[in-house]
Amino acid sequence: MPLLEIDNLSVSVVHDAIETPLVRGISYEVSTGEILALVGESGSGKSVSSLAIMGLLASALRVKHGSIKFEGHDLLVQSDEQMRQIRGRDISMVFQEPMTSLNPVRNIGSQIMESIEENLGLTRKQAKTRAIDLLKEVGVADAERRLKQYPHHFSGGMRQRVMIAIALAADPKLIIADEPTTALDVTIQAQILDLMSRICREHGTAMILITHNLGIVARYAQRVNVMYGGRIVEAGRARDLYAAPRHPYTEGLLQSVPRLDQDRSIPLRPIQGSPADPFAEISGCRFHPRCPYAEPICRSKAPEFEGGLACHFPLSQSAKEAV
């Protein structure tokens, strides 16, 4: 049984009784210990679909269809109290900007220990020992002294390490990391991602790694879901997607970011146009206004998601036809 199983999940925003779909029927699984990346430009539905897993959707947002099963239990039918326990113990989240997640007027120690005491039922003394161990594990030196300090005493990279320590406090089975390194400079980004993937390996923790940068994914994730306009348009093993993207949007993403495995003299090519706006009426394939391979059918008929792909003209086929 997969650890997490999402089936045909749709989420809409409701304004003045008008519903607009933000996530349009996505399905995927995550196994124990696996790192799965969710990749896509801004607005593709990465955060909304992940907040639905956590039971933390904003009040105007509703799950319209589908199920989200964690260890076989549907999270969408759990009570608020049950979800609160699941969030503390089984699934935790690391957000992009640690300053908004940490409380500025409480010291770091009390914020880590609170999570440990609440979720593991340890005494204050035991919680302190675990907090020190966690800070050491995430690479914060002089951990005992650091516990007494406040968030503003820490650099951006160090605050993100603290957030990871809090996320790990109850030894969760799944961590959802939503753009955990976007606010950091490139060297620190690599350090934090290395740290997170090592921790997942050592603890057998699964991770959903959300990013808009397909360039960094291959190094950390085993599988990738590429999202566009609220749908998964391509899913597959990271190395296959890198070697031979089948969806034009995946190809566009790969051409628009620097890659570790690519000659630096190859110029980057951003995808033309803007990401799909959920409030705009777009018929057929939502990528068609930007797709260099679009044919008339793409404007009238949305492609089904089959065999890990939603495209009428997968790339190997268009390449063949072009010959």
Ligand X SMILES: Nc1ncnc2c1ncn2[C@@H]1O[C@H](COP(=O)(O)OP(=O)(O)OP(=O)(O)O)[C@@H](O)[C@H]1O
Name the DSSP class of 153.
G
What is the token pair recorded at 99? 């300053």
Spell out the alpha helix ranges (H) of the chain: 46-54, 80-89, 98-101, 108-120, 124-137, 143-146, 156-168, 186-203, 214-220, 238-243, 248-256, 296-300, 315-322
Q: Determine if 190 is a binding residue for ligand X (CB under 6 A).
A: no
* 26 vs 169, beta carbon nearer ligand SF4: 26
Least distance in Å: CB of 213 to ligand X? 10
Q: Determine if 282 is a binding residue for ligand X (CB under 6 A).
A: no
Interaction site with ligand SF4 (CB under 6 A): 248, 285, 287-288, 291, 293-294, 298, 303, 311-313
Q: If you search the block for the tokens 């020992």, which residue do you land on?
A: 129
Cα–chain center distance at 317 = 30
Q: Could you say which of 1, 18, 58, 323 contacts ligand X (CB under 6 A)?
A: 58
What is the token pair recorded at 243? 């070697």
Query: Do residues 183 and 156 make contact, with C-beta atoms less than 8 angstroms apart?
Result: yes
Q: Which does 61 bind (CB under 5 to 8 A by kind): Mg ion, ligand SF4, ligand X, none?
A: ligand X
In this structure, which amino acid lies at residue 119?
A: N
Q: Please tell me the distance from the alpha carbon of residue 34 to that of residue 47, in angstroms, as a whole number.
A: 19
Q: Please tell me the distance from the alpha carbon of residue 37 to that of residue 58, in angstroms, as a whole number.
A: 23
Least distance in Å: CB of 161 to ligand X? 22
* Closest residue to bound Mg ion by CB: 47
Q: How many residues bind ligand X (CB under 6 A)?
A: 15
Q: Could you say which of 46, 159, 173, 312 contacts ligand X (CB under 6 A)?
A: 46
The side-by-side arrangement of strands in the sheet containing 73-74 is 18-30, 4-15, 61-70, 73-74
Q: Which does 311 bind (CB under 5 to 8 A by kind): Mg ion, ligand SF4, ligand X, none?
A: ligand SF4
> What is the b/e burial string over 201-217, where b = at least 16 CB atoms within 10 angstroms of the residue's CB?
eeeebbbbbbbbbbbbb
Q: Determine if 212 is a binding residue for ligand X (CB under 6 A).
A: yes
Q: Which does 43 bind (CB under 5 to 8 A by kind): ligand X, ligand SF4, Mg ion, none?
A: ligand X
Q: Determine if 60 is a binding residue for ligand X (CB under 6 A).
A: yes
* 161 vs 312, beta carbon nearer ligand SF4: 312
Q: Determine if 43 is a binding residue for ligand X (CB under 6 A).
A: yes
Q: Per-residue x/- marks for Mg ion, 42-61, CB under 5 A? A: -----x--------------
Binding site for Mg ion (CB under 5 A): 47
Footprint of ligand X (CB under 6 A): 13, 22, 40, 42-48, 58, 60-61, 212, 278
